[in-house]
Amino acid sequence: MSDLSEKNVVFVTLDSCRYDVARGARIPFITSIGELRRARTHGSFTVPAHHSFFAGHLPVVLEEPLADYYSEAACQLWRIKTGRTLDEKRRFELLFAANNVIAGYRALGFKVLGVGGVSQFSEGSCLRAYFEDDFLYFGANLDEEPLRERDPKTFPLNNIEVIVRNIADHDKWFLFVNCPETHYPYDIGNGISDDVMESFSILKGCLNLREDATVPKSLGPKLLDMQRIALEYLDGQLGKLFELLPKRRDTVVVVCADHGENFGEHFAGKPRWGHMIPTKEVMEVPLVIGQIDGCERVDS
Ligand SMILES: [Zn+2]
């Protein structure tokens, strides 16, 4: 990608989306952006994963063939100047004289807008601080997501017109969207079946760090399916977002999960549910990086 400082950015995190779910889902829009690859994230839950991303460290692909931006060993997309001497042998695309990517884009004159998301982006959260006042949060102010059906209005990409209105008048922009649909309870606002709700009641209101062996094993495949349906819905909504976004400039697009999820897989002798556990299922995430070409606006 030549001269990244001249391109707009859409950075999407599919919260909690497992790699195998993305691989098995029908997501034509996301896979039209670039190659879907298996990457390893840097955090087993939302907060450390996003701190890493905003420091310029996206999930990383370790398998050959290494590709620019997918693997830092090949070329890093965004790099933060931390004060130490730069290793001249390490390649990067855009170097910021700031201590995070968002501040870096703001210093380059970009309109920055964050949109979310899961509760870690609610008012007063540490992740929200990166965006100062440039954030649209559609969810409730909660410490943690409960295992109950959500209101469709709380999903950012059900509010596309509001998002686009906030950046449409700006020439250069950096748009970050955290998508909660793939986070538990995995519904898209159209109900949760009685049998899943019954299993959720055993998990006592929350999924993270649960090790309950009395949860029926059949819950795992059901949650895999619910997360796949949520992702396929998101793919359609992302397509709609890009239809409405201004296309005056080329747009770099990064789509990844912040972490995955355990759906009852055993680790160290116990079934594991949710995230905040650095297991294979949690640390492997989907990653897609590409560019959508812009076209010069023709004023009549
Ligand atoms: Zn998360």
CA 285, distance to chain mean position in Å, is 10
> What's the chain's length in residues?
300
Please write the tens of the pLDDT for every residue from 70-93: 999 999 999 998 766 666 677 888
Residue 288 has pLDDT above 70, yes or no: yes
Say how far residue 180 (Cα) sits from the centre of its chain. Answer: 9
Q: How far apart are CA 211 and CA 220, in angstroms?
A: 13
> What per-residue confidence (pLDDT) applies to 85?
65
In-domain check, residue 180: yes
Q: What would the pLDDT profile of 132-187 be if each residue is shown by its tens digit?
A: 999 999 988 887 888 889 999 999 999 999 999 999 999 999 999 999 999 999 99
Task: Compute, in angstroms, the gap from residue 152 CA to the centroid of ligand 1.
Answer: 19
Give the Cα separation of 45 and 294 in Å (integer): 34
CATH number of the domain encompassing residue 161: 3.40.720.10
Coil, helix or strand at residue 95 = strand
Please list, in sequence order, all residues whose beta carbon lies within 8 angstroms of the beta carbon of residue 79, skipping any fewer than 6 positions away: 56, 92, 93, 94, 95, 96
Q: How many CA atoms lie within 13 A of 159 on its CB side?
A: 20
Indicate whether 63 belongs to any domain.
no
**The pLDDT of residue 143:** 79
Q: Give 112's strand partners.
A: 174
pLDDT digits (tens, 9 = 90+) for 26-52: 999 999 999 999 999 999 999 999 999
**Is 298 part of any domain?**
no
pLDDT for res 83: 66
User: If you measure from the C-alpha of residue 72 to the centroid of ligand 1, how many angstroms do you get, rounded to a whole number?
Assistant: 22
Ligand 1 center–CA 105 separation, angstroms: 23
Contacts of 218 (CB under 8 A, 6+ apart): 195
Q: Separation of 263 CA from ligand 1 center, angstroms?
A: 15
Please determine, for residue 298, whether its predicted confidence score (pLDDT) is greater than 50: no
68 found inside a domain: no
Average pLDDT of span 56-73: 95
Q: Measure 180 CA to ligand 1 centroid, in angstroms.
A: 8
In a domain, 67, yes or no: no
State the pTM of this model. Answer: 0.95
Q: How far is the CA of 242 from the centre of ligand 1 (A)?
A: 23
In a domain, 297, yes or no: no
Dihedral sign, CA of 27, 246, 287, 200?
negative
pLDDT digits (tens, 9 = 90+) for 236-260: 999 999 999 998 899 999 999 999 9
| Distance from the alpha carbon of residue 230 to the mean position of ligand 1, in angstroms | 15
**Ligand 1 centroid to residue 298 C-alpha, Å:** 41
Tell me how far the alpha carbon of residue 15 lies from the centroid of ligand 1, in angstroms: 4
Going by pLDDT thresholds of 50, 70 and 90, the confidence category of residue 214 is confident
Q: How far is the CA of 194 from the centre of ligand 1 (A)?
A: 25
208 alpha carbon to ligand 1 midpoint, in Å? 11
Total number of domains constituting the chain = 1
CA of 257 to the centre of ligand 1 (A): 8
Cα–ligand 1 centroid distance for 37 (angstroms): 19
Domain with 129 in it: 4-56+98-292
Please give the order of strands across the beta sheet that includes 284-292: 37-40, 284-292, 251-256, 8-14, 173-179, 111-116, 135-137
How confident is the model at residue 300, as a pLDDT?
40
Which secondary structure element, helix H or strand E, spans residue 21, and what is its range? helix 19-24
Structure tokens at 121: 């982006």
Distance 258 CA to ligand 1 centre (A): 5
Residue 78 is assigned to a structural domain of this protein: no
CA separation (Å) from 106 to 165, 195, 198?
19, 47, 47
Taking the centre of ligand 1 as the mean of its atom positions, its distance from the CA of residue 119, in whole angstroms, is 9
At 9 the pLDDT is: 97
